[in-house]
Chain A
């Protein structure tokens, strides 16, 4: 009966998401979808984004309506071919709703849980999704954590293992950042890969994470299957030093929010919860000091210390930038030469992998094969 019927369900963005609110459908009932099309806008207390179509087909039913709050896994809509009978779709919906059990509040066992690897005496938290293939390692930027890949991790994990880690000093990893240099972090990434016995990997780095990926490729080009550099550091001198300074110094919501808003093209995405989560991280003992150490090594005096442009293209390299990036200018994507594919997305900012997740996922997917 349910053959050819594919539900669109409330996604789980990040480990703590329990429910989401329908902000609005982006596609009308009866329209055709191709995979990657943005179908419905969902708001959570942390972040808002669009759910993309996973399958081709017709949006046959918008089950949830604007304003509805659904638990993770709840039925949003139905995609099916034209040929499927309305009665079958009705039956599927009735059956789904009758059998749907929302996940228990403190039951995270249904989703993947983070794990911890020990690298050079430090605890490194990471999250693995998918399996097989040449694995992908996702490396976040300064002040970020593995949740920066919220809208990418699942999509990329279809068909391969994808590991997102928290760098030292970030997320839930140890707060000791050594000398805080790009080289230090590159060694951590290499050590992390060794701990997971990864023989070759595609590296995807955002911002400072891009510079780290470049440094890994410089040290071990054969080990790196490809580089994807998103709003990347390491490709030029300029960086918004005031952002780094402000991010470290801010102790309260009000002080932090304007800095975080610079990361996004749509400042409305910076919800109170997002700011609170960043503050909760920054307030952990040792974090501010660690971030200060990193800043001093990575961008002393408000300019990037390490020039890794020559590394780009030594392995297959994809560069993605938001044209309106306020942290590291998109002009750094220019003139990178052979072996480097560049895509600059109009109207996007520094967190382009979150705000234009569908496009970024498609580009990475094409690159890593």
Chain B
């Protein structure tokens, strides 16, 4: 039975249901319960934003607080995954990959290939990303392209509560390492989510709005920016098809090519930096595989090639907005007349 819950509740529910279903699922991370070793409340935090709140009460020692030691506990999650557990490690901010990346890309991502297909590493690394909370340069980045670049990793970027729950359950059941990227500005977003557990397959993009004039391919929080732009553009008689990638690795090339074949016009919207990101990747893929379908040049809408700024005036300029998308769509329409 579906009811309305937030993105944050959907994630918590997915974790709880999978821990209930499979006792090898464990959670580890900094303050995932909170209050360990203090005189105060145990389960004090549930992570800095309370995403895992309540799980310690239900599952006790399977919810493991760690010291601030990303290399060790991300590596431990990876090692445990090859030794019979299904750990869900919380890397608090995606920006912190800098202090544990070796364990992700040289260890977890490589085991299966490097060991000739004999290893399975069912680890999930949940991590929050994205700008919009005035968290500045070291707590706001969209680093999913970095993970997407690495063979052996799967990368998930849910845009809605429904997708967050279904994709997280799939991530936990998946036998490969998964980087599960949660946009911190979406945690309070509400949507219909079934109470029952369900798994959403990877590599199936979601067409969130149908239209015949321009395709907007996007992901994560930008799906909502694209929808906002598409609604405004519909008033001008331009019908946009909005495609949410849902996962960047694997990436649903078929759906991207189909929408481009349908509309002949493409805007790629990506909150990450403009070099070697999802926008460039998709634009290149479409140019290679569907060039003849294009009626005009592709437009990319991305953040600028700067660190994420702090001041609200600057950050608001930094994050791609609906106005930028509308401008790009109109430019694509204009150049393809």
Interface, chain A (partner B; CB < 8 A): 16, 106, 125, 172, 175, 251-254, 272, 276, 280, 283-286
CA distance A285 to B166 in the complex (A): 11
A106-B4, A252-B201, A254-B254 known; A272 vs B207 contact (CB < 8 Å): yes
Which residue of chain B lies nearest to A283 when distances are taken between CB atoms in the complex? B198
> Is the Cβ of B199 less than 8 Å from the Cβ of A283?
yes
Contacts of A253 in B (CB 8 A): 204
Q: Size class of B's contact patch?
A: 10 to 19
Q: What's the nearest-Cβ distance from chain B to residue A214, in Å?
A: 30
CA distance A226 to B206 in the complex (A): 44
Given contacts A175-B196, A284-B196, 9 further A-B pairs with CB under 8 A are A125-B1, A172-B1, A251-B201, A272-B210, A280-B198, A283-B199, A285-B196, A285-B198, A286-B196
Q: What's the nearest-Cβ distance from chain A to residue B164, in Å?
A: 14
Contacts of B197 in A (CB 8 A): 284-285
Contacts of B162 in A (CB 8 A): 280
Q: What's the nearest-Cβ distance from chain A to residue B171, in Å?
A: 14
Q: What's the nearest-Cβ distance from chain B to residue A279, in Å?
A: 9
CA distance A254 to B197 in the complex (A): 23
Q: What's the nearest-Cβ distance from chain B to residue A48, in Å?
A: 13
Q: What's the nearest-Cβ distance from chain B to residue A280, in Å?
A: 7
Contacts of A172 in B (CB 8 A): 1-2
A125-B1, A272-B210 known; A284 vs B198 contact (CB < 8 Å): yes
CA distance A106 to B196 in the complex (A): 21
Interface assignment of B35: CB less than 8 Å from any CB of chain A: no
Contacts of A283 in B (CB 8 A): 166, 198-200
User: Could you list 30 examples of A-B contacts with CB < 8 Å?
Assistant: A16-B192, A106-B4, A125-B1, A172-B1, A172-B2, A175-B196, A251-B201, A252-B201, A252-B204, A253-B204, A254-B254, A272-B207, A272-B210, A276-B206, A280-B162, A280-B194, A280-B198, A283-B166, A283-B198, A283-B199, A283-B200, A284-B194, A284-B196, A284-B197, A284-B198, A285-B196, A285-B197, A285-B198, A285-B199, A286-B196
Counting chain B CB atoms within 10 Å of each CB, the highest count among A106, A253, A283 belongs to: A283
Contacts of B166 in A (CB 8 A): 283
Q: What's the nearest-Cβ distance from chain B to residue A142, in Å?
A: 20
CA distance A276 to B205 in the complex (A): 12
Which residue of chain A lies nearest to B169 when distances are taken between CB atoms in the complex? A285
CB proximity to A under 8 Å, residues B57-84: none
Contacts of A286 in B (CB 8 A): 196
Which residue of chain A lies nearest to B252 when distances are taken between CB atoms in the complex? A252
Q: What's the nearest-Cβ distance from chain B to residue A169, in Å?
A: 12
Contacts of B206 in A (CB 8 A): 276
Contacts of A106 in B (CB 8 A): 4
Contacts of B199 in A (CB 8 A): 283, 285
Which residue of chain A lies nearest to B201 when distances are taken between CB atoms in the complex? A251
CA distance A13 to B55 in the complex (A): 39
